Amino acid sequence: MPTRKQSVAGDWAPLSPVIFHILLSLGVGERHGYALKREISQRTGGKLRPGPGMLYGALNRMLELGLIEESDARPDPHLDDERRHYYRITDYGRKVAQAEAARMRELVRLATARFGVPKHA
Amino acid sequence: MPDKPFSLRLYRWLINLYPAGFRENYAQLLEREFRDELGESTGAAGLAALWIRLIGDLAISVPLQFSREVAQDARHTIRLWARRPWQIGFAILALAIGIGTNTGVFSVVNALPGSRTPGLPESGFSATSRQCQAVSRMAPAERVSY
């Protein structure tokens, strides 16, 4: 898949929630589309459940931007469908995720300074 | 609510709504994903919930993919133009000369005495553009008598 000339990691901020969650999942290891969807749904308590179009649209965009790449590695073919595509995070993708996390941290710091921390948190 | 085999056929058909470039790379994966979700849904309520989610997904992702493809094509075109400015310049010049000549010839022919306004039939009422101009210059009272 062709990748566009990579910009500075922070240039893509703010990332869409789906893209950031995909990066979070791939930070642990390689995943296929359906595993990504299930993991995102579990992590967000079902609040974010990307459908097939949104999921593969995001993966397509991330491949174009060079945030992720397709992986040739396959688990045991008896355990898995060979038609599935596996994805892994690139070094650039890791940097973009770090930049996004730093942006969020800064936002949380600002919000905490302004509004404090809720008691039930 | 459609049953599972019908749902699969319907979704296969709906995949055709995506732009060709996206479909080429992802049609099989989308179908695979749909099969997995279909396998998980149980009962009519589960199937209905799946279809509601899918329609929402299609409503967002299809226009998004189209807009991305259009933006991609536009970027590609601009890059091509930037690489070959002379060829593009000649193409635009040729178009300008063609349109200009066409307009000029039409204006001259149209201004000749007795030329008819294009599109109006030969028989019945027809007015030349000169007649139209003459009428437009008249006062409303004069127009009635004309």
How do residues B101-135 score in pLDDT, each as one tens digit? 999 998 888 888 777 666 666 554 555 666 666 76
Task: Indicate the Cα dihedral angle B50, B55, B56, B58, nearest 10°.
Answer: 120
Mutation for A interface: B10, B12, B16, B33, most A CBs within 10 A: B33
For chain A, the domains span 9-74+83-115
Residue B131 CA to residue B141 CA, distance in Å, equals: 17
Identity of the residue in B26, B36, B56 whose CB atom sits nearest the CB atom of A56: B26
Residue B64 contacts residue B18 (beta carbons within 8 Å)? no
β-sheet bridge partners, residue A87: A31, A70
Segment A47-69, tens digit of pLDDT: 999 999 999 999 999 999 999 99
What value does the mean pLDDT of chain B take?
83
Residue A53 contacts residue A22 (beta carbons within 8 Å)? no
Q: How confident is the model at residue A96 (pLDDT cuts 50, 70, 90)?
A: very high
Tokens of A100: 């996004």
Q: Which residue has the tokens 């770090």?
A: A98
Segment A83-93, tens digit of pLDDT: 688 999 999 99
A9-74+83-115 classified as CATH 3.30.43.10: no
Q: SS3 of B125, please?
A: coil
Mutation for B interface: A39, A56, A86, most B CBs within 10 A: A56
Residue A22 contacts residue A88 (beta carbons within 8 Å)? no
**Kind of pairing between the strands at A68-71 and A31-32:** unpaired
For chain B, the domains span 4-83, 85-113, 115-146
Residue A64 CA to residue A2 CA, distance in Å, equals: 6
The pTM (predicted TM-score) of the whole model is: 0.69
Residue B131 CA to residue B112 CA, distance in Å, equals: 12
Residue B81 CA to residue A111 CA, distance in Å, equals: 47
